[in-house]
Amino acid sequence: MVDINVNGKVALITGGSRGIGYYIAESFVLNGASTIIITSRKQDACDKAKAELDKLSKENGKKVTIISLACNIADDKAFEKFYQEVSTKIDKLDILISNAGAAYGETLLKHPIGAVRKVLDLNVTAVFQSVQLFHPLLVNAGTKEDPARIIITSSVAASIATDFGGTYGYLASKAAVSHLGKNLATQLGPQNINVNIIAPGIFPTKMSKYLVEEKTDTLINDNPKRRYGRKEDIQNAVLWLCSQQSNYINGISLPIDGGLYLVGTSKLSKF
């Protein structure tokens, strides 16, 4: 029997207080992580997630240190300060989940340029800065037998060109971070840091609320698996990518979407 785990590992999850980031945090709690750091913009959201993860840990007989620190990682200086604070608490980082993201939808001619810029700052620039800042701690953790891991959250939207409700900045940002991740994999692989990208399809989270509420029939009928993603789909994939069993996996973009990337979607925009 193969035991896929993250025993003893230290992980940081941006956007870890809800949605996909929180799903990943849950799986790390249940599968051996020693320390999990979660961050998002609001401290109350971080603290609520910490309380839930502490409860999950206790109920399942796990010993995990959960650290919650709020940070607007799209703010360069704030992110640098966040790194300085985190680096006083840990001396290595086995896993960086660069997951925080935002979306904004509007028609082409009404779409604010500022909204595109804001999405790109968080979804692309902050991903780059997360790798840049935490690189020393990742180097401290990685070995040839078990490299440190960077997982970048992209999207099925990075590989299909059908409409996603006028989310122009989001579509561009997810294509960008997918390519960034592949480039980083070639550079960091020799340093015992594996970089991989996950490309989720439609999961019922706060970010996808509009699409799920307004376009359920279209999204389910278009998907070869005829359903939305479930948290276990994310958890199992990311856990494997961060486990010792995936040591030789570097630079992939893994669709977690039931095959949606193969067929695209019908027109989703209501605009």
Q: How far apart are CA 254 and CA 97, in angstroms?
A: 14
Q: How far apart are CA 24 and CA 67, in angstroms?
A: 15
The catalytic residues are 170
What are the structure tokens assigned to 150, written together?
């960077």
Instruction: Give 85-123 as a DSSP string.
Output: HHHTT-S--SEEEE---------TTT--HHHHHHHHIII
Q: DSSP H helical segments within the chain, as ranges? A: 19-30, 43-59, 76-87, 113-120, 126-141, 168-188, 209-214, 216-222, 231-242, 260-263
The 10 Å Cβ neighbour count of residue 114 is 10
What is the chain's alpha carbon radius of gyration, rounded to the nearest angstrom?
Answer: 18
φ and ψ at residue 32, rounded to 5 degrees: 105, -5
